[in-house]
Amino acid sequence: MFESSNRITLLCKSDYEKLTNLNNKHHGKGHPKLSTAVVVDDHMFPEDMARIGTKVSLKDLGTGSVARFVLCTTTGKHRENDGGMRAVSVASPLGVALLGTRMGEHIKWTLPNGHTRYLRISELAMQATAAC
Provide the 10 A C-beta neighbour count for residue 104: 10
Residues 6+ apart with CB under 8 A from 90: 15, 18, 19, 22, 31, 52, 71, 72, 73, 96, 98, 99
Q: What is the reported pTM?
A: 0.77
Residue 118 scores a pLDDT above 60: yes
CA distance 108 to 131: 28
Boundaries of every domain in the chain: 2-126
Return mean pLDDT, the chain.
79
Per-residue model confidence as pLDDT tens digits over 22-66: 767 665 555 667 777 889 999 998 888 999 999 999 999 999 999
Of 54, 16, 65, nearest to 36 by C-alpha is 16
Higher pLDDT, 122 or 2: 122
97-115 average pLDDT score: 86
- Considering only the top CATH level, what class is 2-126? alpha beta
- Model confidence at 77, pLDDT cuts 50, 70, 90, reads very low
